[in-house]
Amino acid sequence: MLTKLKRRVQEWFTAEAKFLCNIGFTPNKMSILGLFLAFSSALIYTFWKFDPPLMLITASLLLLASGFCDAIDGIIARIYGKVTVFGSFLDSVADRYADAVTIAGIIFGGLCDPLWGFFAIVGSLLVSYTRAKAELAGVKMESVGLMERAERIIIIAFSTLIEILVRNAIWWAIVLLAILTNLTVLQRMRYFYLKTMNK
């Protein structure tokens, strides 16, 4: 859904992408940095009870920073002609790890029900898998469905900030993700079927 705003976001982040590239950051380095930030966020979610307000704020900011890196790596690649097959592969794999470890950290931290967390992880991974599989068959899947990665990051990050004031905000966010990610998978399956039913 938010992918429809990608061009505008890319324009906003062009200056930042140029600056980061000029100081030595390549698309692959940004992908790895984003993954490191996601792991750091997951670790803080796991141990958030040591200092709840500070830890939750930090986890949210690290997750948003991970999402920023995910946006920047592609912009650097396109601006400087550094788009590579391996870079695309690395970015995709790093994103899947980031999705899984973030929700796993929330589960281990006791911030959501493990079963809902499990379905949120499965749904998040399948949203990406259905897109990759469909595009291998020549069906564009970008912006199809409710819950792409940008939406997932925003929901988790902002529910984390709300958690400071409203108990169980993250719990409900994970329930929402579990439902909407799997609904997105069904949307994409239907879209793919309609596009290919006569082939």
Identify whether the C-beta of residue 155 lies closer than 8 Å to the C-beta of residue 173. Answer: yes
pLDDT at site 10: 64
pLDDT at position 171 is: 97
- Sequence-distant (6+) residues with CB within 8 A of 191 are 134, 139, 141, 144, 145
Quote the CA–CA distance of 158 and 152 in Å, as a whole number: 10
Write out pLDDT tens, residues 58-73: 999 999 999 999 888 8
Give the residue with greater pLDDT, 110 vs 74.
110
Report the CATH architecture of 2-196.
Answer: Up-down Bundle (1.20)
> Which residues are annotated as catalytic?
95
What residues does each domain of the chain span?
Answer: 2-196
Mean pLDDT, residues 32-42? 96
Q: In terms of Cα–Cα distance, which of 46, 176, 70, 64 is closest to 128?
A: 70
Query: pTM for the whole thing?
Result: 0.90
3-state secondary structure 67-87: HHHHHHHHHHHHHCCCCCHHH
Give the tokens for residue 21: 């590239």
Residue 61 in contact with residue 120, Cβ under 8 Å?
no
